[in-house]
Chain A
């Protein structure tokens, strides 16, 4: 496949990616968008094109259906869209390397917007690798894309708006919930209320969230509050969930499926492999790319938009996408600086308004520290099956850094490349060595960003000049 050249490469066709593409096209840039899924929509509007035409679209809510309109606008904006396309490397210049349908490809671009969104925060606990344990996000994707619900009444454990939203959607679909294990720590609401005055600017969202909570209460679901420990048990599949609360109360329930959720964190994999600076956000215990107001990273002409820039939701993502596109357009000479700033002004205002609820949500759903201190027998690294206990033992000898720990234990060397274990490793080292997590950091992340085959690599155009 010969390389294609474009002004702007956008990685990810979710809310941010689509909004950026539409704006960039509006400014006259050539745009190429890649996404590893088969349709645009990201996670929040996953499978929207397929689903929009069906009956079930209605019960997934208005916020989901908005995506149909966005996808249509995106499809007709004139951007090249490559679905089912996996990005495995980006080199300076820029040259982006992809695979699709078994063949490698190369895209040349003057600027890049990374809109790869977020993932659920890894929250390891003993037994979390058993078949039957999944994330709440996974279950929601199954509801959207396959109209599927757990066969038996499901247990949901965790904290965060997605947990409430999914529970509401599941009940509306006729699914059954056995109970909720709420891990929100005690007195969290009191702390969060400090931010309420600012949050009142988003009364609609607040009311929506409250509505979910009340609907669940009305459904009379067994709810256990202030759960601080979880354990999944069973022979080769989930059979039981054991839990313990902060007041010492413990219990055990039979379960076929357990859904877990402890918030979302930005996908920083690609920015890290590009060498972009990241900063540690103490409240959300995660790294976020360092960005200017337009979303540009510390690498020139590399931008991050959407939840990958910091969790903000779909509306915020779209605004950030448009801002990044405007900046790229002015950078590449398609728009004067003044025009870009003028077009951006209302976006900045809207962004501030849209973000008003975040401090409240971030405080209310701040990750509890037990999430980062799993019991010794927990498989901290799922891929290489390395336990937290092993990591602790190794971290205590000679105080190695996180790269050394990875080299000695193999944790982080599997196909997920740290997406499910890097934060856990950093926290374990920090705890054992009494160092701040931000200083420990994450181990070096490198391409390939996704495990491509040697055949796909070998198929890259023979005509390419050597480096």
Chain B
């Protein structure tokens, strides 16, 4: 859906999205990275399993919820990337390790 205008160069780092390594740049949000992936969507809703993607990018819509390093329902637009971060798209209702 979106593309970056420049190459991160030395500021590049790697995060994992559903197990796949993806290049990101220090300082950008997880949501921004997800919007550059071919899928575009970042979760399916717990109510109807419909696909959603980030909508507001500022924390007031809660569409960008993903699992970050095993913590679920994290607002990815407010989460800066870190090298080695593991992101998982949330599908439907969350499962706890209960």
Quick check: B51 and A134 within 8 Å, CB to CB? no
Among A56, A173, A257, the one with the most B-chain Cβ atoms within 10 Å of its Cβ is A257
Quick check: A131 and B5 within 8 Å, CB to CB? no
Quick check: B59 and A36 within 8 Å, CB to CB? yes
CA distance A146 to B4 in the complex (A): 7
Name 30 A/B residue pairs within 8 A (Cβ), A-sorted: A36-B59, A36-B78, A38-B78, A47-B27, A130-B51, A131-B40, A132-B40, A133-B55, A134-B56, A138-B55, A141-B58, A142-B2, A145-B28, A145-B32, A146-B4, A146-B25, A146-B29, A148-B35, A149-B2, A149-B5, A150-B1, A174-B5, A236-B41, A257-B1, A382-B55, A385-B48, A385-B50, A415-B73, A416-B61, A416-B62
**Interface: A177 (CB within 8 A):** no
Give the residues in chain A near B4, CB-CB below 8 Å: 146-148
Known A-B contacts A146-B28, A414-B62; A173 and B54 likewise in contact (beta carbons under 8 Å): no
* Contact count A vs B, C-beta below 8 Å: 124
Q: How far is the CB of A42 from chain B (nearest CB, A)?
A: 9
**Interface: B23 (CB within 8 A):** no
Quick check: A147 and B29 within 8 Å, CB to CB? no
Q: How far is the CB of A149 from chain B (nearest CB, A)?
A: 6
Give the residues in chain A near B40, CB-CB below 8 Å: 131-132, 237
**Interface mask (A132-164 → B, CB under 8 Å = 1, otherwise 0):** 111101110110011111110000000000000
Q: How far is the CB of A420 from chain B (nearest CB, A)?
A: 6
Residues of chain A whose beta carbon lies under 8 Å from any beta carbon of chain B: 36-38, 43, 47, 50, 55-56, 84, 102, 119-120, 129-135, 137-139, 141-142, 145-151, 173-174, 236-237, 256-257, 267, 382-385, 414-416, 419-420, 450-451, 453
CA distance A236 to B50 in the complex (A): 7
Quick check: B61 and A148 within 8 Å, CB to CB? no
Quick check: B62 and A134 within 8 Å, CB to CB? no
Quick check: A142 and B57 within 8 Å, CB to CB? yes
For B, the interface residue count at a CB cutoff of 8 angstroms equals: 39
Quick check: A173 and B47 within 8 Å, CB to CB? no
Quick check: A134 and B57 within 8 Å, CB to CB? yes
Question: Which residue of chain B has the shortest Cβ distance to A455 in the bound complex?
Answer: B71
Residues of chain B whose beta carbon lies under 8 Å from any beta carbon of chain A: 1-6, 25, 27-29, 32-33, 35-36, 40-41, 45, 47-48, 50-63, 65, 71, 73, 77-78, 80
Give the residues in chain A near B80, CB-CB below 8 Å: 38, 84
CA distance A12 to B77 in the complex (A): 16
Give the residues in chain A near B25, CB-CB below 8 Å: 146
Q: How far is the CB of A264 from chain B (nearest CB, A)?
A: 11
Quick check: B1 and A138 within 8 Å, CB to CB? no
CA distance A118 to B68 in the complex (A): 27
CA distance A385 to B59 in the complex (A): 19
Quick check: A237 and B56 within 8 Å, CB to CB? no
CA distance A451 to B60 in the complex (A): 12
Give the residues in chain A near B47, CB-CB below 8 Å: 384-385
Quick check: A138 and B51 within 8 Å, CB to CB? no
Give the residues in chain B near A236, CB-CB below 8 Å: 41, 50-51
CA distance A444 to B98 in the complex (A): 33
Q: How far is the CB of B78 from chain A (nearest CB, A)?
A: 5
7 A-B pairs with the lowest CB-CB distances in the bound complex, closest first: A131-B53, A146-B32, A138-B57, A146-B28, A50-B27, A415-B62, A141-B57
Give the residues in chain A near B28, CB-CB below 8 Å: 145-146
Question: Which residue of chain A has the shortest Cβ distance to B62 in the bound complex?
Answer: A415
CA distance A173 to B4 in the complex (A): 11
CA distance A56 to B28 in the complex (A): 14
Quick check: B51 and A131 within 8 Å, CB to CB? yes
Give the residues in chain A near B78, CB-CB below 8 Å: 36-38, 84
